[in-house]
Amino acid sequence: MGTITRNAANNFTTGGVILPAGINDTSVASITELENTATGGGAMTLISEQTASASASISFTTGIDSTYPIYKFEFINIHGSNDDENLQFNLSTDGGSSYNVTKTTTLFRADNSEAGAGEDLSYDGGRDMAQGTGNANLAYRIGADNDQSCSGIFHLFNPSSSVFVKHFISEFNVNMATDKGLRVFVAGYGNTTSAIDAIKFQMTSGNIDSGVIKLYGISGS
């Protein structure tokens, strides 16, 4: 037992930080949960993931409930069938039978061209939403060239609350149809005290040809 304790201690500094020698294939393979410090939450658990394949939309109708106070979606190389389209979302309170929750959003962006011209940082009032029930923008003007896509994250807070409206924040990076790099920041709330239990993602028109969306639950401590 003493040998085991000494060997374990040798992998840490006096401040409790693990040393590089203590990280190997075996130790990494044993990790089942990740600590999420970016949102101030606890362990992050993968609930499900979906891979698009000429999909009209991607919906998550299970896994969003009172188990976690925060739900995080990761979008990896979302590629549309049409050039210059927007990635959008909508929320449901009836398990996905309808997606029409009233939403108010804010949207600002930063962009730069491949030629290093036309840099911009601004609020985009033409793509936000004020008490609308339609699909809300997450990313826009996504290119459809073979090497173009968008990637990002979306957080939904306390969707099962029967007291508060449902806050969300997102940030995406876009390879635009105009060969510009675009960073989009969206925040807002679903203006309902009913539980949100499903969410749908889709392009303005056309399909999501490829890409992966992962759903995680983040514990409260």
- Percent of the chain at pLDDT above 90? 78
Higher pLDDT, 150 or 39: 150
Q: Which two tokens stand for residue 21?
A: 């020698």
Residue owning tokens 């410090």: 37
Residue with tokens 């739900």: 71
Residue 20, SS3 per DSSP: helix
Q: What is the per-residue pLDDT across 64-85, written as a single tens digit (0 to 9) for each?
A: 999 999 999 999 999 999 999 9
* Same domain for 160 and 179: yes
User: What integer pLDDT is reported at residue 22 of this predicted model?
Assistant: 62
Q: Is the pLDDT of residue 159 over 70?
A: yes
- Span 206-211, average pLDDT: 98
Please state the domain count of the chain. 2
> Does residue 205 share a domain with residue 155?
yes
pLDDT for position 26: 57
User: What's the pLDDT score for residue 118?
Assistant: 81
**What domain range includes position 132?**
33-218
pTM across the whole model: 0.81
76, 47: one domain: yes
Chain-centroid distance, C-alpha 48: 13
| H helix or E strand, kind and range, residue 86 | strand 85-92
Residue 167 sits in the same domain as residue 203: yes
Looking at the fold, whether 125 and 24 belong to one and the same domain comes out as no
pLDDT band at 117 (very low <50, low <70, confident <90, very high): confident
Q: What is the rounded distance in angstroms from the CA atom of residue 137 to the CA atom of residue 106?
A: 10
State mean pLDDT over 163-173. Answer: 98
The CATH number of whichever domain residue 115 belongs to comes to 2.60.120
* Alpha-carbon gap, residue 90 to 68, rounded angstroms: 20
Please, where are the H alpha helices in the chain? 2-9, 25-29
The reported pLDDT for the residue numbered 39 is 47
Report the distance separating Cα 73 and Cα 75, nearest Å: 7
Same domain membership, residue 56 and residue 127: yes
